[in-house]
């Protein structure tokens, strides 16, 4: 495990000393881990969303081309 040093305001340090029953190091470690996991999850979801957008764009393009061909066929038959 690596160590991290951070600065906090003097008033916060005084409160931390007042509530010494809290394992502040453990608390902060858990919060950092939780936030890192949330951000990793968000990153994965954004990647999946981008993949889905590419599929959506492909499907819309395919549908547009299909309709264009269909209209051409109907015009040839004199139905449009």
**Rounded mean pLDDT of the chain?**
90
Q: How far from 39 is each of 1, 45, 64, 65, CA to CA, in Å?
A: 20, 10, 37, 39
pLDDT digits 0-9 by tens, 36-70: 999 999 999 999 888 888 888 888 888 888 887 78
Residues 4-29, mean pLDDT to the nearest whole number: 96
Locus of tokens 């160590």? 3
Residue 71 has pLDDT above 80, yes or no: no
* Cut 0.85: pTM above it: no
At 9 the pLDDT is 97
> What are the backbone angles phi and psi of residue 8, rounded to the nearest 5°?
-135, 155
Residues 19-39, mean pLDDT to the nearest whole number: 97
């Amino acid at each position: 495990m690596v160590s991290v040093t951070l600065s906090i305001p003097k008033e916060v340090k005084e409160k931390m000393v007042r509530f010494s029953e809290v394992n502040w190091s453990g608390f902060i470690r858990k919060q950092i881990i939780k936030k890192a996991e949330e951000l990793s999850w968000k990153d994965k979801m954004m990647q999946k969303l981008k993949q889905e957008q590419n599929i959506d764009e492909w499907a819309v393009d395919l549908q547009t081309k299909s309709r264009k061909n269909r209209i051409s066929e109907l015009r040839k038959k004199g139905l449009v």
